[in-house]
């Protein structure tokens, strides 16, 4: 029979046990031994779930204490030397300091894993990078699985993907200069695993789905010729894109097997089957690892049949990519509408879909008739459900005209009107939106949801927190305030629960990075806004201060990217429906007197297709969606947007096309490296590069932030420069927040005084 497996499995646990344990360890509430036991228990449980579902191989190495890339660096001994850690004796506490920073060193950079909302720790490459061996964690985990009697496949980030995703910091001409010592260390890993009794190692190389230059492509053959000299069989795994153009290369590599994503690249299978080598495994990802819709098992079976007829037992059946990107278990959802529930499959349910396909392929559909009948019923139900389609939304989209995508004046005229209305100082200071969510706020929200707190009492609790947040910002001396978002569990979920066409889960948690988990909403139908969503809170905050208070919204592309989106219509159509709903909210905020409206789009870059040839089409409609949401305001209403933790350098023209008056952007982890892209680009609007990393407990000192402002002022004219953190402050505590903001404001005041002593206010420093 074909072999069934997955490329990876969610590691946070059904009750987010890993998150709770991590945060307990970081706060000193539990010992390392307790954290280690949580990890062991989760791994054992998840391997057990894979075996119970009927999978032939369990996956080892997909568990990580913070991130799989950082975990790989720990295995290799390649944690940056600036931390001063002994790579072979790296402790868990030191590992976390690399991810989160410490008193001496800032955290390693964090950015998006391809086009997902998962964040990885960016490797740092330099001439003194060493791969001399690291921790024993991987070997210990492999031994755990083998000792429990499992047939184990170890999963690792592949060497070329690891190199490509890193950044050169110093003394290195090209990343590939590090390839020879890196290969040697991977050989060491594979040899150790083979000695333990591991038969298969899965090396993930999703980078092959990108548009690589010739030097990178040419590196694959010698790399894998060297790695496959060990007796450990290597499964070369690609996903997130078609790799059809590399079919000849992959078929000729001396690896034991290849994995393909047939959801993102369905057309590539025919090319690979043509002349596919004898005795080489072909693993096909036919179950979507990126979305939560139940599989059409009949369609998936039809896709597998030609491969099975040609390959027989050399066919492997899997999900497209790691199931890290979907929630763990649908069975925990008790509040979903039964019809919607029947359309869904989370990670654990996807395991049974893989097993059902295997049995149907070998023994016939009748052997798993119930699974196939249920799949077909769900597809028919979804196709004909009244909840999916709205004539009103469709009609509204048809009334959109070209002028709806344009501001009435160019930026220069708008900027004059906004300065006159807002009367802000040079280098205005602000935050991105959220402030720390205290345990009291979370308890009040839970009590309200459980019916233990009346709506009026809940409103008063939130108003008290808004009052505290406004007062604190005024005391700190910030120029543009926010209400703090105490009422919001999440920047997407908050809006999704108020929009038709969205559904929320109770336990549909997905890891974003480290202990940070999100609960992506589900877009199942046409989207519309029944009532205003944020006006009440913005109005209350504005009553408490004479300073401007931003209205805070999440943009249409981020709503799209950070949700599980319907797959029965183009993503562009869904984005435009969300944009129309937000346009109504923007209009209501402006009518209520809000002078600054921030529409966050941190996921704009994330949505860019991995192949450049499709990038222009995506950026065109993504920009149009943002403009549809934002362009219905007057000249003196200032539109902000925010972006973070992605490489935006290659989409700067599209960012300009958004036509936002102010963009705030993450920059501190890279030491303003991102601004290098702006140096030759002459970004025409206002910009606020982040001055401190909100995802690190390390409080950046005033002098460091002053130096970052100086560095930014060398690139951006000072009269178009804002001062702000990298991102929202929701995950920080109040003492950290106050200390960091106080230092930021002081740094801005020092720079302001320096500039104004030399130049007239509003004179640009080039």
Give me the active site residues, please.
695
* Cα separation values, 673 from 154, 251, 679, 697, Å: 36, 39, 10, 21
Residue matched to tokens 């992506």: 520
Nearest Cα to Cα of residue 105 among 120, 124, 88: 124
Quick check: helix, strand or coil at residue 664?
A: strand
Residues sharing a CB contact under 8 Å with residue 653, sequence separation 6 or more, in sequence order: none
- Other C-beta atoms lying within 10 Å of the C-beta of residue 136: 12
In sequence order, the β-bridge partners of residue 500 are 528
Please name the residue ranges forming H helices in 281-430: 297-311, 338-341, 347-363, 369-384, 391-398, 411-422
* Cα separation values, 488 from 114, 484, 492, Å: 27, 9, 9
Asked whether 693 and 101 are in contact (CB, 8 A), the reply is yes
Please give, one letter per residue, the 3-state secondary structure of 415-459.
HHHHHHHHCCCCCCECCCCECCCCHHHHHHHHHHHCCCCCHHHHH
- Other C-beta atoms lying within 10 Å of the C-beta of residue 331: 11
Quote the tokens at residue 204.
């993930």
Q: How many CA atoms lie within 13 A of 231 on its CB side?
A: 7
C-alpha span between 501 and 327 (Å, rounded): 20
- Rg over CA atoms, the chain: 26
Asked whether 280 and 315 are in contact (CB, 8 A), the reply is no
Quote the tokens at residue 656.
């300009």
Nearest Cα to Cα of residue 138 among 154, 150, 153, 152: 154
Quote the tokens at residue 574.
């869904």
Nearest Cα to Cα of residue 513 among 107, 47, 93: 107
Residues sharing a CB contact under 8 Å with residue 735, sequence separation 6 or more, in sequence order: none
The percent helix, strand, coil of the chain (3-state, each to 5) is 50, 15, 40
Computed from CA positions of residues 574, 575, 578, 583, in that sequence, does the dihedral angle turn out positive or negative?
negative
C-alpha span between 502 and 523 (Å, rounded): 5
573: enclosing H helix or E strand: helix 571-591
Computed from CA positions of residues 210, 174, 177, 222, in that sequence, does the dihedral angle turn out positive or negative?
positive
Residues sharing a CB contact under 8 Å with residue 411, sequence separation 6 or more, in sequence order: 659, 661, 684, 685
Quote the tokens at residue 350.
């996807």
Please give, one letter per residue, the 3-state secondary structure of 712-757.
HHCCCCHHHECEECCCCCCCCCHHHHHHHHHHHHHHHHHHHHHHHH
Nearest Cα to Cα of residue 491 among 598, 573, 594, 394: 598
In sequence order, the β-bridge partners of residue 638 are 596
Quick check: helix, strand or coil at residue 3?
A: strand
C-alpha span between 204 and 585 (Å, rounded): 43
In sequence order, the β-bridge partners of residue 121 are 110
In sequence order, the β-bridge partners of residue 434 are 484
Asked whether 1 and 362 are in contact (CB, 8 A), the reply is yes
């Amino acid at each position: 029979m074909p072999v069934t497996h997955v490329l990876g499995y969610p590691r946070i646990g059904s009750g987010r046990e890993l998150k709770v344990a991590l945060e307990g360890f970081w706060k000193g509430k539990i010992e390392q031994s307790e954290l280690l036991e949580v990890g062991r228990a989760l791994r054992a449980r998840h391997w057990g779930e894979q075996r119970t579902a009927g999978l032939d191989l369990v996956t080892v190495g997909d568990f990580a204490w913070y991130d799989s890339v950082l975990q790989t660096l720990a295995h290799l001994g390649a944690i940056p030397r600036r931390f001063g850690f002994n790579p072979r004796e790296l402790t868990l506490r030191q590992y976390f300091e690399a991810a989160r920073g410490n008193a001496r060193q800032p955290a390693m950079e964090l950015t998006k894993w391809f086009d997902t909302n998962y964040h990885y720790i960016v490797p740092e490459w330099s001439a003194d990078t060493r791969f001399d061996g690291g921790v024993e964690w991987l070997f210990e985990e492999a031994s755990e699985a083998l000792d429990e009697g499992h047939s184990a496949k170890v999963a690792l980030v592949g060497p070329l993907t690891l190199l490509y995703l890193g950044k050169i910091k110093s003394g290195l001409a090209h990343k590939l200069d590090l390839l020879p010592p890196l290969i040697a260390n991977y050989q060491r890993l594979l040899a150790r695993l083979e000695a333990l009794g591991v038969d298969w190692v899965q090396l993930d190389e999703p980078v092959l789905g990108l548009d690589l230059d010739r030097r990178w492509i040419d590196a694959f053959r010698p790399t894998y010729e060297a790695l496959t000299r060990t007796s450990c069989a290597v499964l070369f795994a690609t996903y997130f894109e078609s790799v059809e153009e590399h079919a000849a290369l992959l078929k000729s590599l001396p690896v034991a097997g290849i994995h393909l994503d047939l959801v993102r690249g369905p057309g590539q299978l025919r090319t690979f089957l043509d002349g596919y080598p004898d005795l080489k495994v072909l693993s096909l990802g036919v179950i979507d690892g990126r979305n939560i819709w139940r599989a059409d098992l009949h369609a998936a079976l039809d896709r597998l049949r030609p491969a099975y007829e040609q390959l027989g037992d050399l066919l492997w059946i899997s999900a497209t990519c790691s199931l890290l990107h979907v929630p763990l278990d649908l069975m925990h959802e008790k509040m979903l509408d039964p019809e919607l529930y029947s359309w869904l499959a989370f990670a654990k349910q996807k395991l049974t879909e893989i097993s059902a396909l295997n049995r149907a392929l070998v023994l016939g559909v009748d052997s798993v008739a119930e699974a196939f009948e249920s799949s077909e019923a769900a597809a028919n139900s979804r196709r004909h459900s009244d909840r999916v389609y709205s004539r009103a939304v469709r009609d509204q989209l048809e009334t959109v005209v070209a002028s709806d995508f344009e501001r009435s004046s160019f930026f220069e005229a708008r900027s004059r009107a906004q300065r006159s209305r807002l009367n802000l100082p040079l280098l205005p200071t602000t935050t991105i939106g959220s402030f720390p969510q205290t345990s009291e706020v979370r308890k009040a929200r839970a009590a309200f949801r459980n019916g233990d707190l009346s709506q009026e009492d809940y409103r008063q609790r939130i108003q008290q927190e808004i009052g505290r947040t406004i007062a604190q910002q005024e005391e700190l001396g910030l120029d543009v305030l926010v209400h703090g978002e105490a009422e919001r569990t999440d920047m997407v979920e908050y809006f999704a629960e108020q929009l038709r066409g969205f559904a929320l889960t109770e336990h549909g948690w997905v890891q974003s990075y480290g202990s940070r988990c999100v609960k992506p909403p589900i877009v199942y139908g046409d989207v519309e806004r029944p009532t205003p969503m944020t006006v009440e809170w913005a109005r209350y905050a504005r009553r408490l201060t004479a300073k401007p208070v931003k209205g805070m919204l999440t943009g249409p592309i981020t709503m799209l990217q950070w949700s599980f989106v319907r797959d029965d219509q183009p993503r562009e159509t869904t984005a435009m429906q969300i944009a129309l709903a937000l346009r109504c909210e923007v209009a209501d905020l402006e009518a209520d007197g809000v002078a600054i409206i921030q529409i966050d789009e941190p996921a704009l870059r994330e949505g860019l297709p991995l192949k450049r040839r499709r990038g222009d089409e995506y950026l065109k409609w993504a920009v149009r969606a943002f403009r549809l949401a934002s362009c219905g305001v007057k000249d003196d209403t200032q539109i902000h947007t925010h972006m973070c933790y992605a490489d935006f350098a290659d989409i700067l023209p599209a960012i300009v096309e958004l036509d936002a008056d102010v963009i705030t952007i993450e920059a501190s982890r890279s030491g303003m490296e991102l601004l290098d892209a702006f140096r030759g680009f002459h970004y025409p609007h206002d910009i606020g590069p982040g001055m401190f990393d909100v995802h690190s407990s390390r409080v950046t000192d005033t002098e460091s932030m002053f130096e970052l402002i100086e560095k930014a002022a060398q690139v951006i004219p000072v009269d178009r420069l804002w001062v702000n953190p990298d991102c929202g402050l929701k995950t920080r505590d109040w003492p950290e927040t106050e200390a960091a903001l106080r230092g930021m404001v002081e740094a801005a005041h020092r720079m302001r005084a320096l500039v104004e002593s030399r130049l007239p206010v509003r004179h640009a420093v080039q």
